[in-house]
Amino acid sequence: MQIVSHAQTHVGLIRQVNEDACLELPEQGIWAVADGMGGHAAGDVASQLVLDSIRSAVVGRSNEEISKELLIRTLEEANSSLQSYSRNQLEGNTAGTTVVVLFLEKQQFHLLWVGDSRGYLLRNENLKQTTRDHSQVSEMVEQGLISEEEAEHHECANVITRAIGVEPDVAVDIISGECSPGDIFLLCTDGLNKELPDVEIARYLKNADVMEAGMALLHSSLVAGARDNVTYVIVEIKGLQEDEAADNETEKTIPVLNKIR
């Protein structure tokens, strides 16, 4: 695939410390953002530890060795590392973080996440939040207790139900699908999506290249007040390589019997 990406993190206008972090590994087909948990000790350490764990796990491996199973194991191991760090360095306090990872593998995408950092997909001019927030208000919406509009301003809007480093075991959610030329993925921490409505996010993604769209999203978040750290990664699939397209056409014409082993 032909891919372009752009990432940036900003402390925002209120916070003194940036507890967000972002990761771009285009050669490995991996991008991620993490949001150290506000109100917990060493949130900046937590977010960076998780992304450093991903980097260490995949850099130096061949593309064939990288898999969604490897990424899930890496996040589980990072969870254990953060648990140890909290016990040994924070005197009983907890270092925690959310994370969302995009992994592009051949013609497929995989989104893996824990917490309320989001993964969006813009396809055919339509923006969809592909991940589901691990948050109290998200569960209330699913149960029909409140509407999505009410959730945005609910008093429990900042309460998450899952994070890396908080519990001895962590469940990593994953969703996969086929990639299409023109797809644009947005990974972001809640410092972005809580300042900007999805319709505004979609407008920027549709009408600019990835760098211009990212700068516009950041600028608009700052204008809106940027009450939290703001971090994003934008990844656009420009098209298929000629050899990949040829392989796909060949695969389509192989008789079914030839695929039987």
Tell how many helices (H) and how many strands (E) occur in the chain: 8, 10
Give me the pLDDT at residue 119, please.
Answer: 98
What is the residue range of 121's domain? 2-241
pTM (2 decimals)? 0.88
The 10s digit of each residue's pLDDT in 128-144 is 999 999 987 666 667 66
The phi and psi torsions of 36 (rounded to 5 degrees) equal -60, 140
Q: How many domains does the chain have?
A: 1
The amino acid present at 130, given as its one-letter code, is: T
| Angstrom distance (rounded) from CA 243 to CA 2 | 12
The 10s digit of each residue's pLDDT in 158-203 is 678 999 999 999 999 999 999 999 999 999 999 999 999 999 999 9
Can you list the residues of the chain whose pLDDT is less than 70?
Answer: 38-41, 137-141, 143-158, 240-261
Strand, coil or helix: 182: coil
3 within 8 A of 39, measured Cβ to Cβ: no
Give me the pLDDT at residue 155, please.
Answer: 57
In-domain check, residue 159: yes
| Angstrom distance (rounded) from CA 68 to CA 78 | 15
In-domain check, residue 184: yes
In-domain check, residue 252: no
140 within 8 A of 50, measured Cβ to Cβ: no
148 within 8 A of 192, measured Cβ to Cβ: no
Give me the pLDDT at residue 40, please.
Answer: 61
Whose structure tokens read 């397209």?
Answer: 245
In-domain check, residue 260: no
In-domain check, residue 175: yes
Give me the pLDDT at residue 1, please.
Answer: 84
The set of long-range contacts for 148-157, using a CB threshold of 8 Å and a minimum separation of 24, is 152/194, 157/194
Give me the pLDDT at residue 150, please.
Answer: 58
Structure tokens at 205: 């993604």
DSSP tag of 169: S
Q: What CATH number is attached to the domain comprising 47?
A: 3.60.40.10
In-domain check, residue 145: yes
59 within 8 A of 108, measured Cβ to Cβ: no
Q: Of 226, 201, 235, 208, which is closest to residue 20 (Cα–Cα)?
A: 226
User: Residues 6 or more apart from 99 whose CB is under 8 A from it?
Assistant: 32, 33, 34, 35, 47, 50, 51, 75, 112, 113, 114, 115, 117, 164
Question: Order of strands, edge to edge, in the sheet holding 20-25?
Answer: 20-25, 30-36, 97-105, 108-114, 173-178
In-domain check, residue 248: no
